[in-house]
Amino acid sequence: MPTDSISTTDPAAVRMAAFEPSRRACLTVIMRMTGLRPTRQRLDLADRLLGRDRHVTAEELYLEASGAGQELSLATVYNTLRQFQEFGLVRELASEGMCSVFDTDTSRHHHFYLAEEARIIDIPADSLVVPALADFPVPDDYEVDRIEVVVRLRRKAR
């Protein structure tokens, strides 16, 4: 989009022009391929998430986006993250006592939880091997979908 055709009185147009045109085009294609309509708000949030290695809560994403001048509600952020999860663009991590955390890396991998910082980081993929669970006893009518290991860490006492 040539910059001379952007209305500087339209904040939405200015925000959309801020992303690289090729990135916006890629995000639009990704949205369409997954079956999501590429709305301005979805594209704004996708730009903050997709192709980036992040663990983020809806609240953090909302504060980041609204702090950058994007007009959206926390409910919109939650709904968009749920849609992204449904279509395989992010995955939600289960964590006891924490807000939902969304991971932009949808590959099968595990996490460290840094308790004092309430922060999640990836465990390198080849560092933790979980044995096959083909014979693992599960309740009738259920099967193992995936295994997610979260290793809780705390600083050593000095």
Report pLDDT for 146: 78
Rounded Cα gap, residues 34 and 13, in angstroms? 25
Q: Across the beta sheet with 119-123, what order do the strands follow?
A: 119-123, 110-114, 150-153
Q: Which residue ranges in the chain fall short of pLDDT 70? A: 1-20, 95-98, 133-135
Report pLDDT for 129: 79
Reported as a single tens digit per residue, the pLDDT across 63-107 is 999 999 989 999 999 999 999 999 999 999 876 666 789 999 988
